[in-house]
Amino acid sequence: MGEISQDAVEKYLEENPQFTKEYFYKKLRVEALGEIFKNSQAMVKASVTFPELTQVEESALCLELLRSMQEEASSAELVTHRALQRLAQLLQADRCSMFVCRARNGTPEVASRLLDVTTTSKFEDNLVAPDREVMFPLDTGIAGWVAHTKKSLNVPDVKKNSHFSDFMDKMTGYITRNLLATPIMMGKEVLAVVMAVNKVNASEFSKQDEEVFSKCLNFVSVILRLQHINYLYSVESRRSQILMWSANKVFEELTDVERQFHKVLYTVRTYLNCERYSIGLLDMTKEKEFFDEWPIKLGEVEPYKGPKTPDGREIIFYKIIDYILHGKEEIKVIPIPPADHWTLISGLPTYVAENGFICNMLNAPADEYFTFQKGPVDETGWLIKNVLSLPIVNKKEDIVGVATFYNRKDGKPFDEHDEHITETLTQFLGWSLLNTDAYEKMNKLESRKDIAQEMLMNQIKASADEIKSVLKFKEKLNMDVIEDCEEKQLVTILKEDLPDPKAVDLYEFHFSDLSITEHELIKCGLRVFFEINVVEKFKVPVEVLTRWMYTVRKGYRSITYHNWRHGFNVGQTMFTLLTTGRLKKYYTDLEAFAMVAAAFCHDIDHRGTNNLYQMKSTSPLAKLHGTSILERHHLEYSKTLLQDESLNIFQNLNKRQFETVIHLFEVTIIATDLALYFKKRTMFQKLVDACEQMQTEEEAIKYVTTDPTRKEVIMAMMMTACDLSAITKPWEVALLVANEFWEQGDLERTVLQQQPIPMMDRNKKDELPKLQVGFIDFVCTFVYKEFSRFHKEITPMLNGLQNNRMEWKSLADKYDEKVKIMEEEVKKQEEENMNGKAAQDSGDGGDDKKSKTCLML
C-alpha cells in the first residue's frame, strides 16, 4: 500500500463528515479537552488568525481569558492587556490600545491607559503612568467621539474621517491608517474605549473582525465593570464614613472655626485617599476700621489691588493647616503664612477663593498658568503631582477657606468621584459654620445681656445714700461705713424706724396706700418681713434686705396703675391673707417668706400694657416668651435680682431651700396670668368643698399640707386674689385701674392702628361701669366668694367687692337711663321729621303738574 499524503487525508475527511465527527469524538475529544485544561495556551498558536481557529481552539482561547480574569482579578489593566494581545493576534492588528473615560472639573474626557499593545509587548511597557497620560476631550479624536456617541466605529481610512486627530501620531512618530474602536459600557455610562489599529495584510478591518472584536471585548467588559463596581463601592463607603465622622465631630467643637475644622479633617484623613492636604482659612473682615483707612487715604500706603472674593473681601489667608499623611503623619499650623509658602505660591488657592471654582489638575507642576513648585516642598523630598482644590462655602455663600488635596494614593489623578467626596466634605464644613456662628452670636448676646444687666443694676440698685435714707446707721450709731456696724445694731435701729403696722392698717384688708408716700411704703414692706419673723430665722442681712426692698421699688416703672404702689398692695394683701386670713397655717415660714417676697415683685418692670398688646406689637418680650409673657418677664427680673449677692435676701439658705424658693417664685408670679385663672379655679373649688366637709381644723390642715400640689393650687389662687384686690379696696382705689386701660387703648389706636376693646377705649368710658360689673361677676366674685367660704376671716374682701359692685352698678344704671332717654329723644325727633315731611308732601301736591322752570322764572 502506497504512502498516504496529508492532502489525501484532508480530502477524505472533508468528503466524509460523518466519519470525521465519529472519529473525533471516539479518539481525539478526550485528549483535546485534557490538553486544554492542562495548558490552554498550547492549543492556540501565536500566529493563528480567527478564521483559522477550530472550535476547540476558540474554546481554549475563551478559557484562557477566563483564567486570566480569575488569576489577575485585582488588576483589570493586566487582564485587559492579555485580552488585547489576543485581539491583536486574532484580528491581525498591528497594535491595540485602551482609553479610560472619566470626568474632571465637570468635563468628560478619555485618557490613555494601555498603549501600543502587541502580541509580544510587555504589560509594564504598555501601561501608561498617570504623569504620562494623553487626554482627549470628547470632541477631539476618534476615541473621544466613540465615547461621546457610545457606538462602535470602523474607520477604513483615518484621513477621510473628520474626527481623527493626529496628535498621538505626531508625538510618537507612528502612522495610523485604519482602526476599529468600541466603547465598553455599563448601563448608560462609558467606562473605556478599546481600539485596534492598522490591519496587517489588509487595507481595513472587515465585518468579521468587528464581530470578533465585540465577542472578545465581552471579557474585557466584565472585568472593567467589576472593577468599576468595586471602585464605586469604595467611593460610597468613603463618602458615608466622611459624613458620619464629620457629623460626629462637628458638634464636639462649637467655640472656634479652626478647632472645628481641625477635628473633622483630622478624623476623616484616612478616607480622603490622598498623600497630603491643606486648609487655608480666609480673613472674614469685609470692611476695614476707619483708622486702618487713614494711611491709604493719606497716600502713605498703596490701596489693595489684589484679587477679592465674590463678596468683595480682600483675599488674605490668616492661617494654613497642613496635614501630612505620607510617611510619618504630621500636622503643621502656619499662622499668617507668607505669600511664598509652598501652599500659596502656585496661586491656585487664591484663584479658587476669587472665583469659587473646583480645580482638578493633572501633573500640576507642568501647568503654565499656576506656578507650582517643581522640586521637593520640604525636607521629606515629597513632590506635588496631582492637585484638587475646592472652596469652603458657608450657608450665606461666603467663601471662608480653601481646601487643597495633593496626590491620590494610587498615583492616578483625582476624578469626578474624588471631586464629589471632597465637595461633600467642604459643603458640610461650610454649613457647619452655622453652629459656630450661632454659638458666637449666642456668646455675644450673652455678653450684651451681662453688660445690659450690669448697666441695669447700676441704675436700679439702691445706692448707699438711698440705703442710708432707710437704714440710718450714721445718725444713730455714729458710723460712717455700714460694714463697721454689727448686725444686731442694724436690726435694732431699723425696727425702731419702721412704721407701726396697726397705725398704717398693715393687717387690714381695707388697707389704703393713698396717704402714704412711696418711700414710706418701702419701710412698710420691711416691716412685713419682721412681722412674719423671717429676718432673724433665716439670717437675712438687714443691709441686703433694705437694698433689695429699695431696688424692687425702683424696678417698678412710673406708670398709672401697675407701679410700685400696686406691687406693694399685692405684697400687703398676701401678708394679710397669711396673717389676718389665717392661711399661714398651711405653709412653712420659708414658704411664707417666698410668697410675700414674690408678691412684692410680681409686676416688677410692668410696661402698662397687657400680654395681648405685647403679642400684637410683636415686642421682644413676646418673641422671648411664648405664653404668660409679662409674668415670665417679672419672674426673670426677680431671679436676676437674686443673682446679685448684695441683693439676695435668701443668701443664707442651703441649696435645697433656695431651689424651693425659686420654684415658689415661679408658681406665685406665673399664677397672676388671668389666662391661667380659669384652669385652676375648678381645682380650688374642689379643695374648698373637701375642707368644708372636714370635722376639725387639724383635719383640714393635714389634708392640705400633706400634698404639695394642693398647697400650690391654694397659693396660686391667693396670688390671684392679691392681684385683683384693688377691686375690693375703698372706692377711690378701685377707680385707678381704668386710667391705665385707657392709655393702652390709646396706644392700640395710634401705634397699632387698631380699634381697642370697649374696656380700653377712652371714647367709650361711659360704658366702663357696665363693663366693670361684668368683670366683677364673671371673674372676681368667684375668687372672694370661695375664699370667704374657705376661711370666714377673708369675708371682708368679699364685702368690699360687693360694695364696689354696687357703686359700679349704680353708675351703670345711670348710664343706661341716660342712654334710654337719648334713644327716646332720637326716636321722637325721627317721628316729628317723618310727620313734617308727609305734611309738606301733601301741601305741595297741587303744583306737581306745573313746569319747575316756569316757577323759577
Work out the pLDDT band at 853, boundaries 50, 70, 90: very low
27-36, 251-260, 581-590: segment of lowest average pLDDT: 27-36
Residue with cell 408716700: 517
Residue 163 has pLDDT above 80, yes or no: yes
3-state helix/strand/coil string of 379-401: CCCCCCCCEEEEEEECCCCCEEE
Distances (CA, A) of 573 to 444, 534, 535: 42, 18, 19
Instruction: Specify the pLDDT at position 242.
Output: 85
The reported pLDDT for the residue numbered 440 is 76
Confidence class of residue 848 from pLDDT cuts 50, 70 and 90? very low
For residue 464, give the nearest of 392, 551, 394, 386 by alpha carbon. Answer: 551
Q: Which three three-digit cell numbers place residue 732?
A: 377711690
| CA dihedral of 135, 140, 144, 148, whole degrees rounded to 10 | 130
In angstroms, the CA 264 to CA 253 distance is 10
CATH topology for the 498-810 domain: Catalytic domain of cyclic nucleotide phosphodiesterase 4b2b (1.10.1300)
- The one-letter amino acid code at 6 reads Q
Q: Of the ranges 24-38, 381-395, 473-487, 765-779, which one carries the lowest mean pLDDT score? A: 24-38
Give me the percent of the chain exceeding a pLDDT of 90. Answer: 42
pLDDT digit string (tens) for 129-160? 888 888 888 888 999 999 999 999 999 999 99
304-313, 452-461, 637-646: range with lowest mean pLDDT: 452-461
Q: Is the per-residue pLDDT at 704 higher than 50?
A: yes
pLDDT for 846: 46
Mean pLDDT value of segment 293-304? 87
Residue showing cell 396670668: 673
Residue 406 dihedral angles phi and psi, to the nearest 5°:
-120, 135
Q: Which fold has domain 50-234?
A: Beta-Lactamase (3.30.450)
Q: What average pLDDT does range 429-436 have in this prediction?
A: 76
CB within 8 Å of 32: residues ≥ 6 apart: 43, 56
How far apart are alpha carbons 789 and 689 in whole angstroms?
9
pLDDT at 266: 83
Burial class (CB in 10 A: 0-12, 13-18, 19+), 833: exposed
- Least confident stretch, 56-60, 460-464, 502-506: 56-60
Query: What tens digit of pLDDT does each residue of 232-274 get?
Result: 999 899 888 888 888 777 777 767 777 778 888 888 888 888 9
Q: Which of 81, 262, 417, 562 is catalytic?
A: 562
373 assigned binding-site residue: no
In the predicted structure, residue 772 carries a pLDDT above the cut 50: yes
Q: Over 70: is that where the pLDDT of 667 sits?
A: yes
At 813, the pLDDT band (50, 70, 90 cuts) reads confident
Contacts of 817 (CB under 8 A, 6+ apart): none
The torsion angles phi and psi of 193, rounded to 5 degrees, stand at: -125, 125
Question: CB-based contacts of 208: which residues, under 8 Å, 6+ apart?
Answer: 50, 51
Rg (CA), the chain: 49
Q: How confident is the model at residue 738 (pLDDT cuts 50, 70, 90)?
A: low
CATH-assigned architecture of domain 253-441: 2-Layer Sandwich (3.30)
Q: Which residue has the higher pLDDT, 367 or 579?
A: 579
Q: Give 35's pLDDT tier (boundaries 50, 70, 90).
A: low
Please tell me the predicted confidence (pLDDT) of residue 51.
52
Cα separation, 522 vs 553, in Å, equals: 7
Query: Is the model more confident about 837 or about 553?
Result: 553
Is the distance from CB of 363 to CB of 132 less than 8 angstroms?
Answer: no
In DSSP notation, 408-456 reads: ETTSSPP-HHHHHHHHHHHHHHHHHHHHHHHHHHHHHHHHHHHHHHHHH
Cell reading at 597: 417676697
Sequence-ordered alpha helix ranges (H) in 795-845 = 795-843
**From-to residues of CATH 3.30.450.40 in the chain:** 50-234, 253-441
566 is in an annotated binding site: yes
54-62: long-range contacts, CB 8 A cutoff, minimum separation 24: 56/32, 60/36, 61/86, 61/90, 62/219
- Residue 855 pLDDT > 50: no
CB burial class (10 A; 0-12, 13-18, 19+) of residue 392? buried
Residue at grid coordinates 459654620: 433
Question: Does residue 772 have a known ligand-binding role?
Answer: yes
Residue with cell 473605556: 192
Would you state the cell numbers that stand for residue 162, as one nine-digit string?
Answer: 473628520
Q: In this predicted structure, what is the pLDDT of residue 41?
A: 46
Report residue 189: phi and psi, to 5°: -100, 135
pLDDT for 437 equals: 73
Characterise 704 by phi-psi region: left (phi > 0), alpha (psi -120 to 50), beta (else): alpha
320: left (phi over 0), alpha (psi -120 to 50) or beta: beta
Q: Which residues in 16-44 are b (16+ Cβ under 10 Å) and which e?
A: eeeeeeeeeeeeeeeebeeebeeebeebb
DSSP string, 618-679: T-HHHHH-SSSHHHHHHHHHHHHHHHSTTT-TTTTS-HHHHHHHHHHHHHHHHTT-HHHHHH
Q: Tally Cβ neighbours within 10 Å of residue 458.
A: 9
Domain span(s) for CATH 1.10.1300.10 in the chain: 498-810
pLDDT for residue 675? 86
Q: How far apart are the two ends of the chain, measured CA to CA in Å?
A: 163
Q: Report residue 69's pLDDT band, with 50, 70 and 90 as the boundaries.
A: low
Per-residue pLDDT at 522? 95
Q: Is 209 annotated in some ligand binding site?
A: no
Confidence of residue 747 (pLDDT cuts 50, 70, 90): confident
Judged against a pLDDT cut of 50, whether residue 849 lies above it is answered with no
Q: What are phi and psi of 408, to 5 degrees?
A: -65, 145
Query: Is position 673 annotated in a ligand binding site?
Result: no
**How far is CA 320 from its chain centroid?**
28
The alpha carbon of residue 724 and the mean position of all alpha carbons in its chain are separated, in whole angstroms, by 44
User: Which of 732-736, 756-760, 780-784 is the least confident region?
Assistant: 732-736
634 known member of a binding site:
no
Q: Give the Cβ contact number of residue 808 at 10 Å.
A: 23
Element (H, E) at 540: none
Which run of H or E residues covers position 595?
helix 589-601
Any known ligand binding at 744? Answer: no
Report whether pLDDT(521) > 50: yes
180-181-182-184 Cα dihedral, nearest 10 degrees: 140
pLDDT band at residue 62 under the 50/70/90 scheme? low
pLDDT at 850: 39
pLDDT of residue 623: 87
Cα–Cα–Cα angle for 54, 57, 61, nearest 5°? 140
In this predicted structure, the answer to whether residue 40 has a pLDDT above a threshold of 60 is no
pLDDT of residue 2: 60
Q: So what's the pLDDT on residue 646?
A: 93
Q: Which helix (DSSP H) or strand (DSSP E) does residue 485 occupy?
A: none
pLDDT at 609 over 70: yes
- pLDDT tens-digit readout, 192-238: 999 999 999 888 999 988 988 888 888 888 888 988 998 899 989 98
Among residues 353, 434, 435, the alpha carbon closest in space to that of 389 is found at: 353
Residues whose CB is less than 8 angstroms from the CB of residue 294 and which lie 6 or more positions away in sequence, other chains included: none
Q: State the Cα–Cα distance between residues 508 and 524, nearest whole angstrom.
A: 13
- Chain-centroid distance, C-alpha 200: 68
Residue 533 has pLDDT above 70, yes or no: yes
List the grid coordinates of 281.
482659612
**What's the confidence (pLDDT) of residue 830?**
79
How does the average pLDDT of the chain come out, rounded?
85
Q: What is the pLDDT of residue 345?
A: 92
The Cα 549–Cα 571 span in angstroms is: 12
755 is in an annotated binding site: no
Question: Contact at 8 Å (CB) between 98 and 193?
Answer: yes
> Could you give the percent of the chain with pLDDT greater than 70?
89
Is 562 among the residues known to form the active site?
Answer: yes
* Number of C-beta neighbours around residue 11 at 10 A: 11
pLDDT higher than 70, residue 689: yes
- Taking 90 as the threshold, does the pLDDT of residue 7 lie above it? no
pLDDT digits 0-9 by tens, 570-585: 999 999 999 999 999 9
- The pLDDT confidence band at residue 816, using thresholds 50, 70 and 90, is confident
Dihedral (Cα; 519, 521, 526, 530), 10-degree rounding: 140
Can you tell me the mean pLDDT for 761-765? 74
pLDDT for 844 beyond 50? yes
The residue among 476, 481, 470 whose CA lies nearest residue 517 is: 470
Confirm or deny that 519 is annotated as ligand binding: no
Does the pLDDT value for residue 59 go beyond 60?
Answer: no
Instruction: Give the pLDDT mean for 480-506.
Output: 89
